[in-house]
């Protein structure tokens, strides 16, 4: 019996091919728009999360509070210093610590002046390794600093291109950082995010001299011992720093966070944007549903005689109702399947374009089976909902009137 519902619906849809296609296209467009936006939004979040995970779950990042836009950029209000680093070092459970600073600097090369992010990195190999792990920096060409080196610089991957200064930089070249001469000794591997790939890294001691920051640092990175709970150690670090800085709980002027914590705010904003975009794309789904309703009304009208015959042969109202609802559900489901395929294809295509144009760090599309099932169910539901009103009208038809209709 149920099989008949499906067979009849299927035949009816095939009968009016053009009309069925047009109705389906409406749902297809709507579903693919929503799916691709959802995938792209979560793709962005995935990429950033995997970067955060790459930092490892055994790190703590200590920054000054006060600059909500760029954590780690020391402000005049609050300073994090090497004294704080010593305090963190002494906390039991902390294996080792390292610091670095960053700001923007004027870089002169090939007679061009440009401004790029500049990092001050420690030259001690142990400390540098800790920073490297935390920031995903690997040397691609050349080498990093030896302990105690002064006026040497490591450039980001993009400097190998001639886009930045009109000429590709090479090992051994000289650049000026805020007027001071540095020799290029290494290039980093491509990270995928333009600010990192365009950066310049110099030894921390020289950074402090040039920017006159003394013992201030931008960020302290602490690695907790193996097997320790980073969150608990984080609390201990907070306590120690509060004592050192003479502050009450709740009134700290610094942050102690795991890399995942840092993502928190960013994710909230991203979710909001995603919700708005999907809401707008959802409008097209509504329009598609209206299209199904329209087609179903037409279908009911055209098959008035057919409905009359079925009823006079004994079909109950509920069966006629079910028949038309299944048919409209079919439209929704069919459109949904194709829409999902198209939506995934669009998202993957955009990911490819981004990888080639900008870098792999920005989009990481993961296809969640839950999403697919949800979308299929949703499109089926839209289909059936759209069909309820027309189906109801069909079920209420009196056989006597229907048979007379022509």
Question: Considering beta carbons, is residue 233 or 241 the nearer one to another protein?
Answer: 241
| Terminal Cα-to-Cα distance of the chain (whole angstroms) | 29
Q: Say how far apart CA 222 and CA 239 lie, in whole Å.
A: 15
Give the total residue count for the chain: 406
Q: Say how far apart CA 65 and CA 239 lie, in whole Å.
A: 16
Member of 8, 78, 342, 372 binding another protein (CB under 8 A): 78
Q: Which stretch binds another protein (CB under 8 A): 46-54, 98-106, 349-357, 368-376?
A: 98-106
Member of 171, 286, 373, 400 binding another protein (CB under 8 A): 286
Question: Considering beta carbons, is residue 82 or 298 the nearer one to another protein?
Answer: 298
Dihedral (Cα; 259, 263, 265, 270), 10-degree rounding: 180
Question: Considering beta carbons, is residue 54 or 166 the nearer one to another protein?
Answer: 166
H or E element: which one contains 300?
helix 259-302
Q: Considering the rule CB under 8 A, would residue 251 count as an interface residue with another protein?
A: yes
Question: Which residue has 């809401």 as its token pair?
Answer: 279
Question: Which residue has 């909902």 as its token pair?
Answer: 385
- Convert 325-355 to b/e letters by CB count within 10 Å (16 or more is b): bbbbbbbbbbbbbbbbebbbebbbebbeebe
Member of 12, 13, 29, 351 binding another protein (CB under 8 A): 29
Residues 105-124 that bind another protein (CB under 8 A): 105-106, 108, 113, 115, 117
Q: Considering the rule CB under 8 A, would residue 288 count as an interface residue with another protein?
A: yes
Helices (H), 154-254: 194-197, 204-210, 230-245
Q: Considering the rule CB under 8 A, would residue 280 count as an interface residue with another protein?
A: yes
Q: Considering the rule CB under 8 A, would residue 297 count as an interface residue with another protein?
A: yes
Question: Considering beta carbons, is residue 7 or 106 the nearer one to another protein?
Answer: 106
Member of 168, 272, 275, 283 binding another protein (CB under 8 A): 283
Q: Considering the rule CB under 8 A, would residue 345 count as an interface residue with another protein?
A: no
User: Could you tell me the CA-to-CA distances from 127 to 49, 99, 132, 385 in Å, in that order?
Assistant: 24, 8, 9, 62
How near is the Cβ of 143 to another protein at its closest, in Å?
A: 27
Residues forming contacts to another protein in the complex (CB under 8 A) are 18-19, 22-23, 25-26, 29-30, 33, 37, 65-70, 73, 75-78, 103-106, 108, 113, 115, 117, 178, 250-251, 253, 277, 280-281, 283-284, 286-288, 290-291, 293-295, 297-298
């Amino acid at each position: 019996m149920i099989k008949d519902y499906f067979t009849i619906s299927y035949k009816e849809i095939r009968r009016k091919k053009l009309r069925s296609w047009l109705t389906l296209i409406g749902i297809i467009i709507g579903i693919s728009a929503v799916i691709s936006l959802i995938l792209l939004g979560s793709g962005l979040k995935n990429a950033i999360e995997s970067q955060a995970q790459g930092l490892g779950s055994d790190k703590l990042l200590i920054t000054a509070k006060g600059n909500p836009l760029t954590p780690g950029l020391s402000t005049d209000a609050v300073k994090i210093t090497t004294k704080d680093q010593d305090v963190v070092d002494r906390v039991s459970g902390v294996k080792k610590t390292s610091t670095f600073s960053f700001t923007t600097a004027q870089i002169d090369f090939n007679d061009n002046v440009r401004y790029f992010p500049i990092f001050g990195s420690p030259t001690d190999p142990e400390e540098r390794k800790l920073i490297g792990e935390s920031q995903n920096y690997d040397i691609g060409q050349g080498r990093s600093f030896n302990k105690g080196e002064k006026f040497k610089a490591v450039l980001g991957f993009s400097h190998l291109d001639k886009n930045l200064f009109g000429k590709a930089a090479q090992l051994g070249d000289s650049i000026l950082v805020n007027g001071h001469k540095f020799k290029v000794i290494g290039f980093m591997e491509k990270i995928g995010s333009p600010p990192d790939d365009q950066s310049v890294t110099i030894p921390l001691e020289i950074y402090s001299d040039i920017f006159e920051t003394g013992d201030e640092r931008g960020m302290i990175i602490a690695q907790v011992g193996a097997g320790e709970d980073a969150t608990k150690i984080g609390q201990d670090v907070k306590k120690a720093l509060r004592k050192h800085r003479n502050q009450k709980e709740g009134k700290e002027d610094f942050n102690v966070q795991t890399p995942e914590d840092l993502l928190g705010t960013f994710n909230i904003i991203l979710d909001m944007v995603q919700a708005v975009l999907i809401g707008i794309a959802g409008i097209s789904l509504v329009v598609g549903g209206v299209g199904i309703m329209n087609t179903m009304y037409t279908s009911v009208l055209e098959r008035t005689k057919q409905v009359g015959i079925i009823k006079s042969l004994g079909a109950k109202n509920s069966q006629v109702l079910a028949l038309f609802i299944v048919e409209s559900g079919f439209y929704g489901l069919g459109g949904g399947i194709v829409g999902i395929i198209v939506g995934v294809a669009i998202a993957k295509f955009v990911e490819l374009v981004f990888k080639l144009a900008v870098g792999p760090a920005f989009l990481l599309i993961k296809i969640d089976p839950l999403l697919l099932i949800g979308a299929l169910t949703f499109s089926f539901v839209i289909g059936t909902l759209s069909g309820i009103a027309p189906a109801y009208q069909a079920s209420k038809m009196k056989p006597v009137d229907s048979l007379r209709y022509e």
